[in-house]
Amino acid sequence: MPTSTWNRHHVLSLADFTAAEYDIVLKTAASFQEVLSRRTKKVPALQGQVVANLFFEPSTRTRSSFELAAKRLSADTLNFAASTSSMTKGETILDTAKTYLAMGTDIMVIRHKEAGVPNAIAQEMDRLGVRVSVLNAGDGQHEHPSQGLLDLFTICSLIDPANPRLELLQGKKIAIVGDILHSRVARSNIWSLIASGAQVHLAAPPTLLPKLFAEYIFGEETAPPGQLFIHWQLEPALQEADFVMTLRLQKERMTAHLLPSLREYHQLFGITRTKLQLCQPNVKVLHPGPVNRGVEISSDLMDDPEFSLIQSQVTSGVAVRMALLYLIGSGKT
C-alpha cells in the first residue's frame, strides 16, 4: 500500500489536502476495492488496533461503512450511541473521548451535529500527547471528508477503473444541486473537485445558496478563476454536465421556512430524465443519501443503473474508509 508520502495524523477536512494526498487515497482505495472482491475480504493491516465509532448524531451509511471497513482491516471496533451513553447523565464530549482513550482506542471516528467537535477532540488528544488519530465523519455544516473522497473515488473509478487519479477530472463539468447551504457534503466535494481541476457548478434556490457562498467556503481566498459557478436556476448548471450530484433537503437544519413546497422544489430543482437531456449523453447522477425519493431525484432515475451511481457510492465507501483508516493507522502498528 502506498504510504511513503502520507504524513497526516488526523483527517478533519479536505481544505488543506494536497493533490498527492488525494491520489494516495484513491490508489489505496483501489487496492482495497480489489481485496473486497475476493472470497476472503479481510486483511490484517490493523490487527490489534481499536477503532471507536463515536457517533453523536444518527447515521446509517457512514457508521455501518466505517464499522465494516475497520473489521475488514482486522481492527477491534467500539460503537458509541449518545442516546444510550453516560452523556444522558451529564458526561461531556471530551470526557467521553477520554474514556475511550483509556480503553486503548487508536483511532476515533467522530460524527456530531455541531461543527468543530472532531477538531476539538483531535486537539485534546494532541494536547495529551497520545498517538490517537481522529477522523471526521461529518460535523454540522462544516465538512464530511470521507464522503467527499468516496464521491471522488466513485467518479474516478468509473473513468479509469485500473488507475483512479485526480487528474481524470481536469476540465470535467460537475453540477452540485440542492440544499448546498446546509450541506457538509457539498463543502467537502467543492474542495476535492476544485483540486482536481473540474468546473463546479452549484445550483439551488437563493434561500439555499447565498450569493456570497463562495466567500463562506474560501474565506478571504477565492476559488480558482473559471472553476466555481453559482446558479439560481437549474438549467445552466446541467448544460453539458458530465456528472450531477444532487443533495438531500436537510429540513432538520433549516431554522426558517426556506421553500414554498417540496412539490415546487422538485419541479424546479429535482433531477429527472427529462432534465438530464441537457447534460452529456453519458451523464451520471450521484446522491450521498439518504434520498427523499420524488423530491431531489425521481424514483425511477434513482434506480436506473444506466444513470445512477448511488449504489456504487455506498460500495465505494467501504474501500475509501478502509484506505483512510489504514493510512492514519499504519504508523501505529
CB 124 within 8 A of CB 96: no
CB 51 within 8 A of CB 107: yes
Set of cell numbers at residue 211? 450569493
DSSP symbols for 207-224: GGS-TTHHHHHHTTS-PP
CB 232 within 8 A of CB 208: no
**Cβ neighbour number for residue 298 with a 10 Å cutoff:** 19
Length of the chain: 333
H/E stretch holding 133 reads: strand 133-139
244: DSSP letter: E
Numbered residues of the known binding site for carbamoyl phosphate: 61-62, 111, 144, 147, 289-290
Numbered residues of the known binding site: 61-62, 89, 111, 144, 147, 184, 248, 289-290
Numbered residues of the known binding site for L-aspartate: 89, 184, 248
Distance CA 130, CA 279 (A): 50
Phi, psi of 121 (to 5 degrees): -70, -40
CB 309 within 8 A of CB 271: no
Distance CA 208, CA 302 (A): 23
